[in-house]
Amino acid sequence: DAGVIQSPRHEVTEMGQEVTLRCKPISGHDYLFWYRQTMMRGLELLIYFNNNVPIDDSGMPEDRFSAKMPNASFSTLKIQPSEPRDSAVYFCASSLGFSGSTDTQYFGPGTRLTVL
């Protein structure tokens, strides 16, 4: 298995532009997670899906952020409009199950976003 795939690996954009990050989870995994990594706050969970359904989006910072999972093999995280404070590394992770969080989450390589 290729693992969790994310694209693009790097994204540089200007303030106000729309940014779309993409993720392909490991085949057969029922859960998909979006995280944001910053120096100040570390690794924060933004949202997670179970069987393509958003379960908890309480970590999404504001309405400018949205995430979708149209099918079991694809998810997007969109920021519109982007701001410089959104600059961070965004990770996608997937897990086979989520029984009391004992299941291992497998992380993708991340997308490094820079908003100028």
Partner 1 sequence: ILNVEQSPQSLHVQEGDSTNFTCSFPSSNFYALHWYRWETAKSPEALFVMTLNGDEKKKGRISATLNTKEGYSYLYIKGSQPEDSATYLCAVSGATNKLIFGTGTLLAVQP
- Which residue ranges make up the site for partner 1 (CB under 8 A)? 3-4, 42-45, 48, 56, 91, 98, 100-110
Contact residues for 28 (Cβ-Cβ < 8 A; gap 6+): 96
Min dist CB 16 to partner 1, Å, is: 29
Q: Toward partner 1, which CB reaches closer, 30 or 103?
A: 103
- The minimum distance between CB 28 and partner 1, in angstroms, equals 17
How many other CB atoms are there within 10 angstroms of residue 73's CB atom?
Answer: 15
Residue 112: count other Cβ atoms within 10 Å of its Cβ. Answer: 15
- Closer CB to partner 1, residue 12 or residue 43? 43
CB-wise, 74 or 107, nearer to partner 1?
107
Omega cis (within 30) before 8 = yes
Distance CA 42, CA 34 (A): 14
* Minimum separation from the CB atom of position 111 to partner 1 (A): 12
